[in-house]
Every structure is written in C-alpha cells, then in structure tokens.
Structure 1
C-alpha cells in the first residue's frame, strides 16, 4: 500500500476486503451521497461509469451517486476544484497537470488504458491535410479547451515540430454538436471519441489521421501504455472518506469485470437508448472497436503513468518546470482491495 496518511479505518477496511468481507459497507461509509462530474458521459471513454450506474453497482455499495455530465474534461475538473463535485471520472493527465499547479489531485481506479481519441479531418480538406504538420492555422474541434482531446492535439503538434498555439482549439462538446460543427464547416478537423467519430465516419465526413482506439495507434502517438479515464479526487477527500472511496472503486472494478465477461450486445442493451444516437447497429460496431481499451483490473501501471508524464512534459510549461512526484498522482490500494471485494 502507498504511504498516504489515511485514517486507520481505511487500513482496516482494506485488510477486511482482502480476507473476503462483503463489498457492501454501508454502515462504514463516511458519506452515502456522492457527486461525480464527467465531461461527456455518452463517450465510450467513460463507459465503465455508465455501466456501474446502470447495473446498480454503486447502489450495491450503499452509494447514491449523482452524475453531472459536462461539456468536457476540463469542465469536470473545474467542478471538482470549485467544490461542486466530490469526484471526477476524467483523464489521468489532469492529476499531473494539477500537481504542477500545486494542487494534489489523486486518481484511485483506472477505467481505460487507451484514450480512444481520434483526429479526423473534414473530407473536403483531406487532400491538403495529410500529416500533423498540415494542421497549422486550422480550427480544430475539441470537447473543451484544456480537456484530454485538446491535450491530444497538442501532443500531435509538438511531435510534428509545431507549437500548441499554432491551431485554434474550438470547444464542440462530445455529442451531436461535435458532429454538426464538423459537417457544417465550423471546424476543419475534430479530436473526439466514439460514438462521435463513428457517426462522422458513417457519414463519410472525415478522414481519420490519428487513431488511439488501437494499441498500435496508442504506441504511435504516446509511445506506449497510457492511462486514460480514471476516477480522481482531491487527496483530502481520500483521506477523509476512505470507505466511500473504496466503495466507488469497488463499483468501477465490478463494472470492468462485468464488461470483460459480457457480450457487446449485452453491454449495448445496458446503456440508455439515447446513447445510440438513433443508430443502435452503428453504436454496437463502434463499441466492438473500443472494447480493448478498458482496464481489466482498475489497477495502475508505473510504465503507463510515466508515459503520461513524458507526453505532458513535451508541451506543458508548468509540468516542464515542476518536479512531479508520480506516486502522489495515484493511489493503487483501492483498486487492489477491490479485486478481492468484487467477485
């Protein structure tokens, strides 16, 4: 276990879980009502969160979870910092960037090990835009400025020898608005995720240039394993609410284990119909393309955290100047304990 100064009760809980105590610990929860912010809940990036909600895994842990769906990951982070959310389902990248700003934000369970972000160029411009070097001067749609999709674009620009300021990042959200922005010519390209990308591909509206839905694509852009979606919160929250945090981790690990054994059709039938965007077959096909991106255990990899830090150092001046202690950006004890708690 990591050397976080948690209350003694959290150690007792972890030990109890290791020896097979039930996952439900309602009487021990510091709080039963938890607010979670997410930037684009319908995206496959955050599917384990929806599964945990729809399958009742949060309720099994004695939790009443309220999920606020915001336009992008940076907005979810703002909700946490501002105090309107207890926890965020968001990008692991934010834990590092916030440490560079002097704020201790800690991830405590992994949802995804591949971002699944795609950069697609409008078909009518694809003949002139063939690599990241050609992005200079363009308007590029991202879920929200400062979000993981925006960081993805910055990564591509820096690798191509450009500056992150060489493009204009336009917030287009994570749903129908993103599709409309590209198809109506409001942006020249988009950095987004499925099912948005799947819809644009089906409409023959984009040419995919960079794709992290696959292991090969992740390696090309990020150089190796890369943590994507996680649950993160303030270090003080983990300290003050160890049992509640454990219950949240249990629910997500339960969702990950269920997804690993379920068929794509079972997963699709679990999410709200509104997620399909009116085309269940397309949604199912897109899900199959993303199934390899999810964590099987919820646990952290030192290699993956190091790759995230290396990527951020390439374009984030605050990260470049800061001394980052990666061990303070994540705590693996909750996901590890959940392995025994969740069968």
Structure 2
C-alpha cells in the first residue's frame, strides 16, 4: 500500500514538474552579435554611442562589438575580408569599391551623419564675418587626399572661387592623427579640423573656428552604416533590428539636451573634458550634422558625387539604387517612436 502511495506521489511530482516547465517562461533568445568597425572614434558619431549606451541595440536583441579601425581603407578592408559585419564610414568608400569591380557590392543602409564634420580654424582671432578671400596666399593644412573631409573642403573652397592647388599653399600629406599636432607646432595659418580638437584649440587659445565646412558643403551621406550585399541578404532581420535601434537613438538625440547627450556618450571619451564634449556636441547639433533618420535620399547622394567629381576622385557616377538600400531605414522611421 505504501509502495503504491509513493509511486503515485512521485508520478504527481513528475507531472507537476512537467506542467510547470511547459507553462514557465521560455528561455530568452540568444542575442545576435554584430561586429561594427567605425572609421574613427569621434564625437561626430554621438548617436551611435547613444544607441549602445542607452541599450537600444540590446532591446533589439543585438550584441554589439564596436571596434575602431582607423582610416577608410582599413575599415573597408575589414568589411570585405569578413573581419566585421557592418562598417561606419563615408559613403564614398562604397563607390570606390564598386569602381574596383567588386562582385559583392557594399550597400549603404543607414545614415548617421548628414554633413561634413570639419571646421576651418584660424591661427589668429578674426573680428566680424569671415572673408574666404583671406585664405588666398595662405598656408592651409588640409585633410588626406581622396577622403571625404578633404573633398568637402576643396568643394567649399571652389564654391568661394578659390583654387586649392593654385591660390594657396595646400598641405595634405600629414597623417590624420597628426594634423592637429602639426598645426599646434606652427605649421599653417589655417587648418581643417574635426571636433573636439577645434574646441580644444579655442580653449587653449591656439586657434579659432571661423567657418564650418559642414554648413558650406550642404547635406550629403557623410557617414553611413554599410554592409556587403551578401550579409544583408542573409541577415535582413538583423539589419532591420539594427536600423530600429539606430532610429531610436536618433530620435533620442533630437529630443535631448546637449547636457544629456554629453552624459550618455562621455564614457566613450574618457580623456576628453566634459565641457569640450558639450561644446562639440552643441556645434554638431546646432548645424544639423546628426541625421534625424537613416534614410539616404537621392539628392544627398548626388551632392556627394558632385563633391567627389569636383575633387577629381570619381571615375564615373555611381547608380544610387545599386549602392543604397533604404527599406530598413524607412521601416524604422515608420515604426520606431
């Protein structure tokens, strides 16, 4: 009798356990790792860091591995070789890849910044409005030839009837990482710089921001998330989640104060004073450098190619529809609030 009772009790316990197991919470799906390679660590990319820091990628079930791969060539090499899944770099690099005849084109799928991010810094303070003609005959410390900053710089100079090669002494053979140091040591009367270095120089009295190349060169797909077509085709759901997280970050940046944005991204710039971060973020936000959504419109794409063409870096114009896929960004804009 006791044996039957024990057997019955065990059976009841097993049944209860099975019932609880079947009714209990399902095991959470494992996060999908996405490896991002950013061309540089920059305050210009604030919405990217917001998306990571505020957990927007995590909410979408994505585990982001963010690495900095200095230089567009290194970033694109990492993408093409499979070292990263997604690259954050200038759209011009996707055009360069196409010009080289790649069988697996690199597709732009979400825009992060929509203007150039550099500023014209003068060694001397200038009172009143800046006259671009004052650059003529000066020594100008520019950016690397073929890169988007240099092309946007030359485009702006030509817009103001200045021939970069004839009207000034243009220096562009200094590595990106050493441009600010070269200017600080006495090279050049003007220099083209990103933030936060422009704000740092102003604080130190070593230079003064007199104009914005971002304002002057207009809207273009300056920094964009891109991936190989084969990756997008195989991982369309992941790419959509990526675009959703980015859109949420872009919405947050647009709605938030400079102070709140600074707090959100400060950990990514541990060696930069918070007041400098604030100054840099404010400049970029005020001039509309942070894209409000990931959509790359055709007018911006054409403006990009105008800039490249003016710099002599475009063999032939690239088909917008062949290198841009807006379906993910468009859906994110419609659904993410």
Q: Scaled by the length of structure 1, what TM-score is found?
A: 0.76
The 8 Å contact of residues 79 and 87 in structure 2, kept in 1 or not, is answered as yes
Contact 1:118 1:208 in 2 (8 A): yes
Q: Does 1:308 align with 2:304?
A: yes
Quote the offset at 1:81 in angstroms.
2.9
Paired residue secondary structure (1:232): strand
Task: Tell me by how many angstroms 1:334 deviates.
Answer: 0.5
1:202 matched residue in structure 2: 203
1:242 aligns with 2:248: no
Q: Which has the larger radius of gyration?
A: 2
- Deviation at residue 296 of structure 1 after TM alignment: 1.5
Aligned to 1:90: 89
Offset at 1:331?
0.8
Q: 1:342 aligned to 2:333?
A: no
> Which aligned pairs between 1:94-109 and structure 2 lie closer than 5 A?
94-103=93-102, 104-109=105-110
Q: How far did residue 275 of structure 1 move?
A: 2.0
Does 1:70 find its partner at 2:69? Answer: yes
**Which of 147-156 and 227-236 deviates more?**
147-156
1:294 to 290, 304, 310: 290
Deviations 1:205-226 (A, max 9, x none): 224454135xxx2xxx43x432
RMSD: 3.3
Q: Distance in 2 between matches of 1:153 and 1:53?
A: 31
Q: State whether residues 71 and 173 of structure 1, in contact with CA within 8 Å, keep that contact through their aligned partners in structure 2.
A: no
Question: Unmatched 5+ residue regions in structure 1?
Answer: 1-24
TM-score between the two structures when normalised by the length of structure 2: 0.77
C-alpha change, 1:69 and 1:299, in structure 2 (3 Å) is same
* Native 8 Å contact 1:132 1:157 kept in 2: no
| Distance in 1 separating the partners of 2:336 and 2:323 | 24
How do 1:28-177 residues align onto structure 2 when only pairs under 5 Å count?
A: 32-41=32-41, 43-103=42-102, 104-123=105-124, 131=134, 133-134=136-137, 138=139, 140=141, 142=143, 146-156=146-156, 159=159, 160-163=162-165, 167-173=170-176
Please tell me whether the aligned partners of residues 111 and 294 of structure 2 are also in contact (alpha carbons under 8 angstroms).
yes
What is the alpha-carbon distance in structure 2 between the residues aligned to residue 191 and residue 26 of structure 1?
47
For residues 72 and 124 of structure 2, the distance between their equivalents in structure 1, rounded to whole angstroms, comes to 27
8 Å contact kept, 2:38–2:68: yes
Is residue 227 from structure 1 mapped to residue 224 from structure 2 by the alignment? no
